Amino acid sequence: MPIDVARIPVLSDNYVWLAHDAASGETAVIDPAVAEPVLAAAAERGWTITQIWNTHWHPDHTGGNAEIKAATGCTITGPAAEAERIPTLDVQVTGGDVVTLGATTAQVIDVPAHTAGHIALHLPTEQVVFVGDTLFAMGCGRLFEGTAEQMFANMQTLGALPPETVVYCAHEYTQSNGRYALVAEPDNADIAARMAQVDAARTNGEPTVPTTIALERATNPFMRAKDAAELAERRAAKDAFR
Protein backbone atom coordinates (compact mmCIF):
# COMPACT_ATOMS: atom_id res chain seq x y z
CA MET A 1 0.00 0.00 0.00
CA PRO A 2 1.55 3.31 -1.01
CA ILE A 3 2.42 6.20 1.24
CA ASP A 4 -0.12 9.02 1.19
CA VAL A 5 1.45 12.50 1.23
CA ALA A 6 -0.48 15.61 2.25
CA ARG A 7 0.57 19.25 1.85
CA ILE A 8 0.13 21.76 4.68
CA PRO A 9 0.83 25.38 3.71
CA VAL A 10 2.10 27.43 6.65
CA LEU A 11 3.73 30.83 7.27
CA SER A 12 4.14 32.87 4.08
CA ASP A 13 5.47 30.24 1.69
CA ASN A 14 6.41 27.08 3.63
CA TYR A 15 5.05 23.62 3.00
CA VAL A 16 4.99 21.00 5.74
CA TRP A 17 4.40 17.46 4.49
CA LEU A 18 2.55 14.60 6.17
CA ALA A 19 3.54 11.11 4.99
CA HIS A 20 1.02 8.47 6.07
CA ASP A 21 1.40 4.70 5.91
CA ALA A 22 -2.10 3.25 6.12
CA ALA A 23 -0.91 -0.32 6.68
CA SER A 24 0.88 0.53 9.94
CA GLY A 25 -1.08 3.67 10.82
CA GLU A 26 2.17 5.61 11.15
CA THR A 27 2.43 9.23 10.05
CA ALA A 28 5.62 11.27 9.68
CA VAL A 29 5.71 15.05 9.62
CA ILE A 30 8.46 16.47 7.42
CA ASP A 31 9.92 19.82 8.49
CA PRO A 32 7.18 21.26 10.74
CA ALA A 33 7.65 25.01 10.85
CA VAL A 34 4.77 25.33 13.31
CA ALA A 35 2.63 22.86 15.23
CA GLU A 36 -1.02 23.88 15.28
CA PRO A 37 -1.87 23.54 11.55
CA VAL A 38 0.02 20.25 11.41
CA LEU A 39 -1.82 18.75 14.37
CA ALA A 40 -5.12 19.98 12.93
CA ALA A 41 -4.40 18.51 9.48
CA ALA A 42 -3.50 15.14 10.95
CA ALA A 43 -6.59 15.09 13.16
CA GLU A 44 -8.81 16.05 10.25
CA ARG A 45 -7.56 13.02 8.33
CA GLY A 46 -7.67 10.69 11.32
CA TRP A 47 -3.91 10.20 11.11
CA THR A 48 -1.76 9.60 14.19
CA ILE A 49 1.59 11.41 14.11
CA THR A 50 4.34 9.00 15.21
CA GLN A 51 7.43 10.66 13.75
CA ILE A 52 8.96 13.96 12.69
CA TRP A 53 11.70 14.06 10.05
CA ASN A 54 13.85 17.19 9.95
CA THR A 55 16.02 17.88 6.89
CA HIS A 56 17.97 20.72 8.55
CA TRP A 57 18.04 22.96 11.59
CA HIS A 58 16.44 26.19 10.35
CA PRO A 59 13.59 27.33 12.61
CA ASP A 60 11.07 27.34 9.76
CA HIS A 61 11.67 23.58 9.53
CA THR A 62 11.92 22.69 13.21
CA GLY A 63 9.80 25.30 15.00
CA GLY A 64 6.89 22.91 15.57
CA ASN A 65 8.99 20.01 16.85
CA ALA A 66 8.57 20.47 20.60
CA GLU A 67 4.84 21.17 20.56
CA ILE A 68 4.05 18.28 18.22
CA LYS A 69 6.19 15.93 20.31
CA ALA A 70 4.45 17.09 23.49
CA ALA A 71 1.06 16.47 21.91
CA THR A 72 1.79 13.11 20.30
CA GLY A 73 4.85 11.55 21.90
CA CYS A 74 6.38 11.17 18.43
CA THR A 75 10.02 10.39 17.69
CA ILE A 76 12.07 13.13 16.01
CA THR A 77 14.77 12.18 13.51
CA GLY A 78 17.22 14.59 11.89
CA PRO A 79 20.79 15.21 10.77
CA ALA A 80 23.47 14.16 13.23
CA ALA A 81 25.70 17.00 12.06
CA GLU A 82 23.11 19.52 13.28
CA ALA A 83 22.06 17.82 16.51
CA GLU A 84 23.34 20.69 18.64
CA ARG A 85 21.04 23.06 16.75
CA ILE A 86 18.00 20.77 16.94
CA PRO A 87 17.71 20.06 20.67
CA THR A 88 14.48 18.07 20.23
CA LEU A 89 16.15 15.29 18.18
CA ASP A 90 15.73 11.71 19.39
CA VAL A 91 17.44 9.95 16.48
CA GLN A 92 20.48 11.28 14.64
CA VAL A 93 21.13 10.13 11.08
CA THR A 94 23.67 10.70 8.33
CA GLY A 95 24.04 9.71 4.70
CA GLY A 96 23.64 5.96 4.17
CA ASP A 97 21.37 5.48 7.18
CA VAL A 98 17.77 4.39 6.80
CA VAL A 99 14.58 5.58 8.46
CA THR A 100 11.38 3.54 8.39
CA LEU A 101 7.72 4.48 8.20
CA GLY A 102 5.83 1.27 8.78
CA ALA A 103 7.37 -1.19 6.32
CA THR A 104 8.60 1.58 4.01
CA THR A 105 12.27 2.53 4.04
CA ALA A 106 13.62 6.03 3.57
CA GLN A 107 17.27 6.33 2.61
CA VAL A 108 19.17 9.27 4.10
CA ILE A 109 21.22 11.31 1.60
CA ASP A 110 23.75 13.92 2.70
CA VAL A 111 23.13 17.18 0.78
CA PRO A 112 25.16 19.88 2.56
CA ALA A 113 25.41 23.46 1.25
CA HIS A 114 22.24 25.30 2.32
CA THR A 115 23.21 24.17 5.82
CA ALA A 116 26.30 22.18 6.77
CA GLY A 117 24.44 19.01 7.73
CA HIS A 118 21.37 19.13 5.46
CA ILE A 119 19.89 15.76 4.52
CA ALA A 120 17.29 14.49 2.08
CA LEU A 121 15.08 11.42 2.53
CA HIS A 122 14.47 9.17 -0.46
CA LEU A 123 11.74 6.52 -0.41
CA PRO A 124 12.71 4.44 -3.46
CA THR A 125 9.73 2.08 -3.40
CA GLU A 126 7.39 5.08 -3.31
CA GLN A 127 9.38 7.08 -5.90
CA VAL A 128 9.40 10.03 -3.50
CA VAL A 129 12.13 12.28 -2.09
CA PHE A 130 11.84 14.96 0.59
CA VAL A 131 14.54 17.55 -0.08
CA GLY A 132 13.94 20.39 2.38
CA ASP A 133 15.67 23.51 1.08
CA THR A 134 18.27 21.86 -1.16
CA LEU A 135 16.30 21.43 -4.39
CA PHE A 136 13.36 23.61 -5.39
CA ALA A 137 11.18 23.70 -8.46
CA MET A 138 13.53 25.44 -10.94
CA GLY A 139 15.84 26.41 -8.08
CA CYS A 140 18.19 25.38 -5.29
CA GLY A 141 18.82 26.58 -1.77
CA ARG A 142 21.05 29.51 -0.95
CA LEU A 143 24.60 28.61 0.02
CA PHE A 144 24.38 29.71 3.65
CA GLU A 145 26.79 27.18 5.17
CA GLY A 146 28.40 25.44 2.22
CA THR A 147 29.91 25.79 -1.21
CA ALA A 148 28.89 25.76 -4.84
CA GLU A 149 30.93 22.57 -5.21
CA GLN A 150 28.76 20.89 -2.58
CA MET A 151 25.54 22.12 -4.16
CA PHE A 152 26.70 21.00 -7.60
CA ALA A 153 27.36 17.53 -6.13
CA ASN A 154 23.88 17.61 -4.58
CA MET A 155 22.31 18.44 -7.93
CA GLN A 156 24.17 15.53 -9.53
CA THR A 157 23.09 13.15 -6.76
CA LEU A 158 19.44 14.16 -6.82
CA GLY A 159 19.41 14.41 -10.60
CA ALA A 160 20.53 10.78 -10.79
CA LEU A 161 17.37 9.58 -9.04
CA PRO A 162 14.79 7.96 -11.33
CA PRO A 163 13.13 10.64 -13.49
CA GLU A 164 9.64 9.82 -12.22
CA THR A 165 10.69 10.50 -8.60
CA VAL A 166 8.32 13.02 -7.01
CA VAL A 167 10.19 15.85 -5.28
CA TYR A 168 8.70 17.41 -2.16
CA CYS A 169 10.44 20.68 -1.35
CA ALA A 170 9.62 22.99 1.51
CA HIS A 171 8.75 26.32 -0.11
CA GLU A 172 6.55 27.84 -2.80
CA TYR A 173 9.38 29.58 -4.67
CA THR A 174 8.59 28.34 -8.19
CA GLN A 175 7.40 31.58 -9.76
CA SER A 176 10.41 33.57 -8.55
CA ASN A 177 12.79 30.76 -9.51
CA GLY A 178 11.18 30.48 -12.92
CA ARG A 179 11.57 34.17 -13.67
CA TYR A 180 15.31 33.78 -13.10
CA ALA A 181 15.42 30.51 -15.07
CA LEU A 182 14.03 32.35 -18.10
CA VAL A 183 17.01 34.73 -17.87
CA ALA A 184 19.58 32.00 -17.21
CA GLU A 185 18.41 29.91 -20.17
CA PRO A 186 16.44 32.23 -22.48
CA ASP A 187 16.37 29.68 -25.31
CA ASN A 188 14.99 26.83 -23.18
CA ALA A 189 11.47 26.22 -24.50
CA ASP A 190 10.72 23.82 -21.63
CA ILE A 191 11.23 26.61 -19.10
CA ALA A 192 8.98 28.97 -21.04
CA ALA A 193 6.24 26.37 -21.27
CA ARG A 194 6.53 25.51 -17.61
CA MET A 195 6.37 29.15 -16.56
CA ALA A 196 3.10 29.62 -18.43
CA GLN A 197 1.66 26.80 -16.34
CA VAL A 198 3.20 28.14 -13.13
CA ASP A 199 1.88 31.66 -13.68
CA ALA A 200 -1.60 30.30 -14.34
CA ALA A 201 -1.49 28.14 -11.22
CA ARG A 202 -0.35 30.98 -8.99
CA THR A 203 -2.95 33.35 -10.42
CA ASN A 204 -5.53 30.80 -9.28
CA GLY A 205 -3.87 30.41 -5.88
CA GLU A 206 -2.78 26.85 -6.65
CA PRO A 207 0.48 25.24 -5.46
CA THR A 208 3.23 24.40 -7.95
CA VAL A 209 4.95 21.64 -5.97
CA PRO A 210 5.65 18.79 -5.74
CA THR A 211 7.75 18.55 -8.86
CA THR A 212 9.63 15.62 -10.44
CA ILE A 213 13.26 14.86 -11.15
CA ALA A 214 12.46 14.72 -14.89
CA LEU A 215 10.95 18.20 -14.80
CA GLU A 216 13.93 19.59 -12.91
CA ARG A 217 16.40 18.03 -15.32
CA ALA A 218 14.62 19.86 -18.13
CA THR A 219 13.99 23.25 -16.50
CA ASN A 220 16.16 23.80 -13.40
CA PRO A 221 19.19 25.99 -14.24
CA PHE A 222 21.04 24.75 -11.15
CA MET A 223 20.56 21.07 -11.87
CA ARG A 224 21.48 21.84 -15.49
CA ALA A 225 24.69 23.74 -14.61
CA LYS A 226 27.61 22.10 -16.39
CA ASP A 227 29.98 22.46 -13.43
CA ALA A 228 30.34 24.01 -9.97
CA ALA A 229 31.63 27.28 -11.42
CA GLU A 230 28.52 27.73 -13.52
CA LEU A 231 26.30 26.85 -10.57
CA ALA A 232 28.16 29.42 -8.43
CA GLU A 233 27.67 32.05 -11.13
CA ARG A 234 23.97 31.25 -11.42
CA ARG A 235 23.47 31.18 -7.65
CA ALA A 236 25.10 34.60 -7.25
CA ALA A 237 22.96 35.97 -10.09
CA LYS A 238 19.80 34.54 -8.56
CA ASP A 239 20.67 36.00 -5.15
CA ALA A 240 20.80 39.46 -6.74
CA PHE A 241 17.86 38.87 -9.12
CA ARG A 242 14.72 40.99 -8.70
Residue 95's alpha-carbon distances to 32, 101, 132, 213, 237, in angstroms, are 21, 17, 15, 20, 30
Q: Say if strands 26-30 and 48-53 run parallel, antiparallel, or are unpaired.
A: parallel
Is 13 noted as a catalytic residue in this protein? no
Indicate if 20 belongs to the active site.
no
Given the residues 21, 31, 60, 110, select the one marked as catalytic.
60
What is the sign, positive or negative, of the torsion defined by CA atoms of 45, 49, 55, 61? positive
C-alpha separations of 205 from 169, 201, 202 in Å: 18, 6, 5
Does residue 239 have an active-site annotation?
Answer: no
Task: For residues 72 and 28, give the distance between their C-alpha atoms in angstroms, rounded to a whole number.
Answer: 11
Residue 56 is among the residues annotated as catalytic for this protein = yes
Phi, psi for 12 (deg, rounded to 5): -85, -35
Catalytic hit among 21, 31, 58, 110: 58
Catalytic residue among 21, 31, 56, 122: 56
Answer yes or no: are the C-beta atoms of 177 and 138 closer than 8 Å: yes
**Residue 58 catalytic?**
yes
- How far is 195 from 181, CA to CA, in rounded Å? 9
* Active-site residue identified among 20, 31, 110, 114: 114
* Residue 119 CB partners (closer than 8 Å, separation 6+): 55, 56, 78, 79, 93, 94, 95, 108, 109, 110, 111, 132
Which residues have a catalytic role annotated? 56, 58, 60-61, 114, 133, 171
